[in-house]
């Protein structure tokens, strides 16, 4: 299926849309993330009237829209790209139907060609006049040429279907990735965490191996937002997400569950090992310093409380989460900025 570039404006137009987009984001205190940029760019450029109306309605209701509401808006207009995917499916259906016809024709052509060759062999074996042999040679040459053309059409059809299937897979992979990624921090979201937790339980039972779960919550996050503003609060969330990612191994899974709450799945890790990882995370976060790039102002220290638990044979996903949550609440009750193991 042929695709065209939807963003085909010239340099002057795109520069103007860039200026309008940045101004719009700043005016409404919307974080300058790629997803939010796309929302506003599509709106101010006039290419999506439905999105423009929905965004204006959202701003009228809430002033500065929340990250969650912006993400829902993005999902509504872009995440699934339903029309594009359906068009690709229809194109793929047409190609496959055409390929089926070519395969049926190829079967008939192969049968006819085989009979032609069989007849030619019989003529070669017989004592035949040269004129008759010449006629048969020309016939075999023509049949071979037709067979080659048939096979060429079949090869072209197969190549087309393969290209469509490959493109569709890439589009679906992108949709799946977007649906499992937290738009603000770039790490996995709650949906991806739930799926990974189910898989971790299955693996632990099948292989009889341990794994642990950490659930962390940024201390006094609301106060931080109220003092420094939501843009700085978003910066804190990204800082915590990047610190979590740096403090764990590639095989470990880091996710934002929502708000200021994060989770980590540590495969093949016992409770004591998980506690060590959690302590490293806590210390690294509290040692960090966030600065205002413009003024050089150092913001308040960021701290986090973490609950740690290990998988038990009969655990459900909710059992693990609830146990880690109880440990987290105990860490909060005992002064915050600390790690507690589940009892």
Q: CA-to-CA distance for 184 and 181, rounded, in angstroms?
A: 9
Pairing mode, if any, of strands 304-310 and 211-218? antiparallel
Closest CA to 63 of 18, 23, 27: 27
Closest CA to 74 of 176, 158, 179: 179
**Residue 268 CB partners (closer than 8 Å, separation 6+):** 209, 210, 211
Q: CA-to-CA distance for 175 and 189, rounded, in angstroms?
A: 14
Q: CA-to-CA distance for 11 and 79, rounded, in angstroms?
A: 27
- Catalytic residue, from 260, 261, 279, 340: name it: 260
**Residue 73 CB partners (closer than 8 Å, separation 6+):** 39, 51, 54, 55, 58, 65
By the 10 Å C-beta count (0-12 exposed, 13-18 middle, 19+ buried), 280 is classed as: middle
Pairing mode, if any, of strands 304-310 and 339-341? parallel
Pairing mode, if any, of strands 261-267 and 211-218? antiparallel
Tokens coding 30 = 């919307």
Q: Is 322 noted as a catalytic residue in this protein?
A: no
Tokens coding 309 = 């638990």
Contact, 340 vs 331, CB < 8 A? yes
Q: Distance of CA 88 to CAs 96, 124, 171, 175, Å?
A: 12, 52, 10, 14
**Residue 132 CB partners (closer than 8 Å, separation 6+):** 123
Q: Which residues are catalytic?
A: 260
């Amino acid at each position: 299926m042929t695709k065209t570039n939807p963003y085909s404006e010239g340099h002057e137009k795109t520069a103007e849309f860039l200026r309008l987009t940045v101004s719009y984001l700043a005016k409404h205190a919307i974080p300058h993330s790629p997803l939010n940029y796309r929302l506003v760019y599509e709106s101010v450029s006039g290419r999506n009237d439905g999105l423009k109306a929905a965004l204006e309605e959202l701003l009228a209701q809430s002033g500065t829209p929340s990250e969650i509401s912006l993400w829902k808006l993005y999902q509504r207009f872009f995440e699934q790209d339903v029309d594009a995917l359906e068009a690709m499916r229809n194109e793929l259906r047409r190609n496959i139907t055409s390929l089926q016809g070519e395969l049926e024709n190829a079967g008939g052509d192969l049968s006819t060609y085989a009979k032609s060759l069989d007849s030619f062999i019989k003529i070669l074996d017989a004592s035949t006049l040269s004129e008759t042999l010449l006629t048969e040679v020309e016939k075999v040459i023509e049949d071979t040429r037709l067979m080659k053309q048939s096979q060429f059409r079949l090869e072209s059809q197969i190549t087309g279907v393969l290209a469509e299937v490959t493109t569709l897979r890439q589009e679906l992979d992108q949709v799946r990735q977007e649906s499992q990624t937290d738009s603000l921090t770039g790490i996995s979201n709650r949906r991806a965490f739930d799926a990974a937790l189910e898989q971790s339980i299955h693996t632990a039972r099948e292989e009889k191996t341990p794994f642990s779960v950490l659930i962390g919550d940024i201390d006094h996050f609301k106060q931080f937002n109220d003092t420094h503003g939501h843009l700085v609060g978003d910066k804190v969330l990204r800082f915590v997400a990047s610190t979590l990612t740096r403090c764990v191994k590639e095989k470990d899974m880091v996710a934002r569950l929502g708000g200021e709450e994060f989770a980590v799945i540590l495969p093949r890790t016992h409770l004591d090992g998980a506690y060590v990882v959690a302590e490293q995370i806590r210390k690294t976060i509290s040692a960090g310093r966030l600065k205002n790039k413009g003024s050089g102002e150092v913001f308040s220290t960021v701290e986090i409380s973490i609950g740690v638990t290990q998988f038990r044979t009969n655990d459900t996903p909710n059992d693990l989460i609830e146990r880690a949550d109880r440990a987290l609440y105990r860490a909060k009750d005992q002064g915050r900025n600390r790690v507690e193991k589940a009892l």
